[in-house]
Amino acid sequence: MAPPSYRRCGKSGRSRGFMVSLRHMVCAMVAVLAMSTVARAEDGFPFGTELTLEASPQPGSKRIPNIEIGDNGEVVLELWCKGGKGQFSVAGNTVIFVPGQIQDRSCPPAKAQADDDLVAALGSVETWKRQGDVLTLLGPKPLRFRANGN
């Protein structure tokens, strides 16, 4: 025999009221868990995302550096002129970027220097934070990237 609070509604309307409130409570708990999962996903490191540096284009160009972060932290870089690969390793809020091979692409000296400075800044990041679609990599020179919309 089921406990009194789980009996089907018969003579007492009290059991039915309890079941309705239990149903509402379970639905509310599921909704809270779903929202917290979404919030954690939005605030987690953006693996599987393409991001653009929050910066102005170099003189004479419309190009702005972007990074594409793969599901395992592998990175494809498109800089002011150069391009290349790298790897992010993330543990909690600590992040390490290791640059891979960077292609020179016969860049003008000013753009080549800006690219080298950006790769060095990426290599010196220590921590990260994310708010919505903005990833901030923190180190001696903070870098802000915004997720590209589809």
How would you write 90-120 as a 3-class SS string? EECCEEEEEEEEEECCCCCHHHHHHHHHHHH
133: containing domain: 49-147
Structural domains of the chain, count: 1
Share of the chain above pLDDT 90, in %: 65
Q: Would 29 be classed as within a structural domain?
A: no
Q: Would 133 be classed as within a structural domain?
A: yes
pLDDT on residue 28: 40
pLDDT on residue 61: 86
**Mean pLDDT across the chain:** 81
CATH number, domain of 131, equals 2.40.128.270
Q: Would 72 be classed as within a structural domain?
A: yes
Q: Would 140 be classed as within a structural domain?
A: yes
Write the pLDDT tens digit of every residue in 102-136: 998 899 999 999 999 999 999 999 999 999 999 99
pLDDT on residue 29: 41
Write the pLDDT tens digit of every residue in 32-84: 333 333 333 457 999 999 999 999 998 888 999 999 999 999 999 999 999 99
pTM of the prediction?
A: 0.71
Q: Would 2 be classed as within a structural domain?
A: no
Backbone angles phi, psi at 83, to 5 degrees: -145, 165
In angstroms, the CA 116 to CA 114 distance is 5
Q: Would 28 be classed as within a structural domain?
A: no
Q: Would 97 be classed as within a structural domain?
A: yes
